[in-house]
Chains A and B, each alone.
Chain A
Amino acid sequence: MVKSFYYSFLELELEFQIILVFIGFFGFGSIFLLVFTLIKRQSKLNKIVLKEEYTLLIENSIFPFVFDDDEEAVQMLLKNPNYKKKYFKKIAIKYCINLHKSYTGHMQDKVDEFYKKSGLVDYSRNKLKSSFWEHKIEAIRDLSTLKDFESIAQIEKLVQHRDKKIATESILALIKLRGISELVLLRNFKYNLDEWSQVLILSVIKSDKISYNSKIEDLKTSKNKSIQLLSSRIVEFYKLNL
């Protein structure tokens, strides 16, 4: 049948042949796109189910550790076959970050400790070495939020990264980990620090309740006007909030 269709096709005039090719392309293209859309939708639905399943596993491990100091719960998690899966680790780290933001004091420290003891921190540290900028940023954010002080040296190296997004994220991370004095690194910053980057810095100072350090006043002597402006804004922020 295909053969006879092919021979009939060859007998057609050129313009008919061209139009038929286009009809075939768009017709099959539509079917292909529809199937692909449905596959994507199904994979999204599968991920939702998987996320629920993983969240339950993580909760069964993290809560006994945080509230009852149950080290066994961490070991159980490490033995779980799902632990090796990337998606599981992503969900687990996200869960830790949400808990970290919800808690303060000892509970918050326990969440950070879970992150390290469960080995999730190694996943983030490896991501920091990735060549993809998104992975780097995610890793910097996870490590700094969950207070992995051992990664400071690695993050510090990224302050001079040629990708501005990574450089800015590293500065934010260092502020979270070592305080506002880290901003002194910006004194000789050669680029214009746009308003959005300043927004991010001020936001970290506010949300992480970073305490005041007089070193910040040094930035006023920077030759970079955007850094001078940032310094004034930070000083103003502390004046209003101290």
Chain B
Amino acid sequence: MNDFGWINIDITVFNYFILAFAFTVMLSYIVLAIVSAFSLKHYLRVNRLIPYKSLLAFQDAPRISILAPAYNEGFTIRENVLSLLSIQYNNFDVIVINDGSKDDSIAILVDAFELIPSDEVYVASIPTKQVKNVYISTNPTFSKLIVIDKENGGKADALNAGINFSKNPYVVCIDVDCIIEKDVLLKLSKPFLEATNKRIIATGGVVRIANSCIVKSGKLIKVNVPKNLIARIQVLEYLRAFVLGRMAWAKLDGLLLISGAFGMFDKEIILKVGGYNTNTVGEDMELVVRMRRYMIENKFPYTLKFIPDPLCWTEAPESYEILGKQRSRWTRGTMETLWIHRKMFFNPRYKILGMISYPYWLFYEYLAPIIELTGLLISLLMVYYGILSWSFFGLLSLFVYTFALFFSVLAIFTEEATFKKYESKKDIFKLVWAALLEPFIFHPFLIYAALKGNWQKIKGSHSWGDMTRKGFEKKPE
């Protein structure tokens, strides 16, 4: 054994570990994609023939409150609320929660919707920051609108205030700036109506990227591939995550996350578990995990559903600065949720959640960036000691690159085979171009943002980070 013998052995062991990790990650992606494909095919076959509008004739349709927390959204809030009020459904109301905005959001709402303070008493079943006022409209056109004005407490706190005020058994939690399809509630509520043996505690939906799409009166008129490359890459990312990932997790009954931007919940269960956790920035994932734990621990038969239709469109960050803040927050949210629910780790009591979903999130979502960085550092160490096999390293990199490309093209193909939202061939080529560049210009930054999230968590940061929105492209009148 030469002077570097011990290094050689350690590095060889680590190389095999990295290789095994990479293979299992890829294998898991492929397995999930296969499960998704079958699940999507089944969903589309069944739902192609569903007359969703039938629900409009049903007086007993599930009563739903749409909860839309808003913080400094004055620029777009009027249009966004109008969009929410125009959703096709019988039994719903829209509760906008102004979470202590520093801008003139509340004045804009009062003026635009002819709001006056309501006499209704606010009962804080879930403790929240102080509610200053509750408004209702004097105009019957806006009779479905309720506005809660409260002190700033964060998104989770705002949602809890909305849950407290809601009189309906179901709540749909959305981001106020999302563009929602008009039939969203018809599609989200159907699983609740079909439930027989198991209680449906939540329905999640797909979130898509709306950058460069044309929006008129809060309605998506034309879907375009984003002009901005960072946003365009996120189209691929969201397609992979929602269509090839979460669809499969839902099928396997292992779904741990329903996006905070868009999900429907059984309010009774939310209240039973104490509402959103205000001490985490990953409140969406944490709530779903807590609700599932509650049902399992109490031996209540239940399930979650996932709707693959593109029903919610959101604006993605177009700069590395905003993207970095968002992704480091997501990392902190994941860390916090996994830590709070560490009891589930490989715990057979929680079945697939404990045995597969939780370890998957821990190893392949949370730890993956750390392992990637370690792999990179080891490679640099090998270069330093002159023991790196460049041909092997090159081939391995090419292998990872071709896999990433393959998986993105698979996501584009799946979109084309299912919902066909991007209309021209040019759009497909634009997305493929983004897929070719992603491993070089996007993925390394995500690793950096995730590591930054870890560092921020260690330092004790609890901030959300501002998301500066550019606004959607408007169709000319």
Which B residues touch A19, using CB under 8 A? 395-396, 399
Which B residues touch A33, using CB under 8 A? 406, 409-410, 412-413
Tell me if B420 and A233 are in contact (CB < 8 A): no
How many Å from the CB of B213 to the closest CB on chain A?
19
Tell me if A134 and B45 are in contact (CB < 8 A): yes
What mask results when residues 393 to 420 of chain B are scored 1 for a CB within 8 Å of chain A, else 0? 0011011001101100110110011001
Which residue of chain B is the closest to A193 with respect to CB atoms? B196
Of the candidate stretches B53-61, B203-211, B302-310, B372-380, the one touching chain A is B53-61
| CB-contacts of B406-444 with A (<8 A) | 406, 409-410, 412-413, 416-417, 420, 425, 428, 432
Which A residues touch B54, using CB under 8 A? 199-200, 202-204
Task: Answer whether residue B301 sits at the interface, using C-beta atoms and an 8 A cutoff.
Answer: no
How far apart are the CA atoms of A157 and B134 in the complex, in Å? 57
Which residue of chain A is the closest to B191 with respect to CB atoms? A196
With A27-B402, A196-B194, A233-B60 given, is the CB distance from A134 to B49 under 8 Å? yes
From the candidates B46, B190, B405, B413, name the one contacting A36 in the complex (CB within 8 A). Answer: B413
With A34-B409, A200-B54 given, is the CB distance from A192 to B196 under 8 Å? yes
From the candidates B49, B395, B409, B413, name the one contacting A23 in the complex (CB within 8 A). Answer: B395
With A30-B409, A37-B416 given, is the CB distance from A23 to B58 under 8 Å? no
Which residue of chain A is the closest to B427 with respect to CB atoms? A41
Task: Answer whether residue A20 sits at the interface, using C-beta atoms and an 8 A cutoff.
Answer: yes
From the candidates A22, A23, A203, A236, name the one contacting B51 in the complex (CB within 8 A). Answer: A203
Which A residues touch B192, using CB under 8 A? 195
Tell me if B413 and A138 are in contact (CB < 8 A): no
Tell me if B406 and A23 are in contact (CB < 8 A): no
How far apart are the CA atoms of A198 and B398 in the complex, in Å? 56
Tell me if B403 and A26 are in contact (CB < 8 A): yes
Task: Answer whether residue B458 sits at the interface, using C-beta atoms and an 8 A cutoff.
Answer: no
Task: Answer whether residue A161 sits at the interface, using C-beta atoms and an 8 A cutoff.
Answer: no
With A37-B428, A41-B425, A138-B49 given, is the CB distance from A202 to B57 under 8 Å? yes
Tell me if A34 and B58 are in contact (CB < 8 A): no
Task: Answer whether residue A40 sits at the interface, using C-beta atoms and an 8 A cutoff.
Answer: yes
How many Å from the CB of A42 to the closest CB on chain B?
8
Which residue of chain A is the closest to B391 with respect to CB atoms? A16
Task: Answer whether residue A15 sits at the interface, using C-beta atoms and an 8 A cutoff.
Answer: yes
Task: Answer whether residue A38 sits at the interface, using C-beta atoms and an 8 A cutoff.
Answer: yes
Which A residues touch B61, using CB under 8 A? 199
How far apart are the CA atoms of A203 and B417 in the complex, in Å? 31
Task: Answer whether residue B459 sits at the interface, using C-beta atoms and an 8 A cutoff.
Answer: no
Task: Answer whether residue B123 sits at the interface, using C-beta atoms and an 8 A cutoff.
Answer: no
Task: Answer whether residue B299 sits at the interface, using C-beta atoms and an 8 A cutoff.
Answer: no
SS class, residues of chain A in contact with chain B: helix
Which residue of chain A is the closest to B62 with respect to CB atoms? A195
Tell me if A194 and B60 are in contact (CB < 8 A): no
How far apart are the CA atoms of A203 and B50 in the complex, in Å? 12
Task: Answer whether residue B392 sits at the interface, using C-beta atoms and an 8 A cutoff.
Answer: yes
Task: Answer whether residue B132 sits at the interface, using C-beta atoms and an 8 A cutoff.
Answer: no
How far apart are the CA atoms of A30 and B438 in the complex, in Å? 15
With A30-B409, A37-B409, A199-B58 given, is the CB distance from A23 to B402 under 8 Å? yes
From the candidates B46, B58, B416, name the one contacting A41 in the complex (CB within 8 A). Answer: B416
How far apart are the CA atoms of A22 and B45 in the complex, in Å? 33
Which A residues touch B412, using CB under 8 A? 33-34, 37
With A41-B428, A134-B45 given, is the CB distance from A26 to B57 under 8 Å? no
Tell me if A199 and B55 are in contact (CB < 8 A): yes
What mask results when residues 133 to 153 of chain A are scored 1 for a CB within 8 Å of chain B, else 0? 010011001000000000000
How many Å from the CB of B375 to the closest CB on chain A?
16
With A22-B399, A134-B45, A134-B49 given, is the CB distance from A40 to B406 under 8 Å? no
Task: Answer whether residue A29 sits at the interface, using C-beta atoms and an 8 A cutoff.
Answer: yes
How far apart are the CA atoms of A192 and B195 in the complex, in Å? 11
User: For A26, A40, A141, A198, which residue has the most chain B Cβ atoms within 10 angstroms?
Assistant: A26
How far apart are the CA atoms of A41 and B212 in the complex, in Å? 21
Task: Answer whether residue A206 sits at the interface, using C-beta atoms and an 8 A cutoff.
Answer: yes
Task: Answer whether residue B272 sits at the interface, using C-beta atoms and an 8 A cutoff.
Answer: no
Which A residues touch B405, using CB under 8 A? 26-27, 30
Which residue of chain A is the closest to B54 with respect to CB atoms? A203
With A16-B392, A37-B412 given, is the CB distance from A194 to B57 under 8 Å? no
Tell me if B432 and A26 are in contact (CB < 8 A): no
How many Å from the CB of A69 to the closest CB on chain B?
33
Given contacts A199-B54, A203-B56, 11 further A-B contacts (CB under 8 A): A27-B405, A33-B406, A34-B432, A37-B409, A41-B428, A134-B45, A134-B48, A137-B49, A165-B46, A194-B194, A196-B194
11 A-B pairs within 8 Å (CB atoms) are namely: A15-B392, A26-B399, A26-B405, A33-B410, A34-B413, A41-B425, A199-B57, A199-B193, A200-B54, A203-B56, A206-B57
Q: Which residues of A contact B (CB under 8 A)?
A: 15-16, 19-20, 22-23, 26-27, 29-30, 33-34, 36-38, 40-42, 44, 134, 137-138, 141, 165, 192, 194-196, 198-200, 202-204, 206-207, 233, 236-237
Cβ-closest 7 pairs across A and B: A203-B54, A26-B402, A195-B193, A26-B406, A196-B193, A203-B57, A206-B57
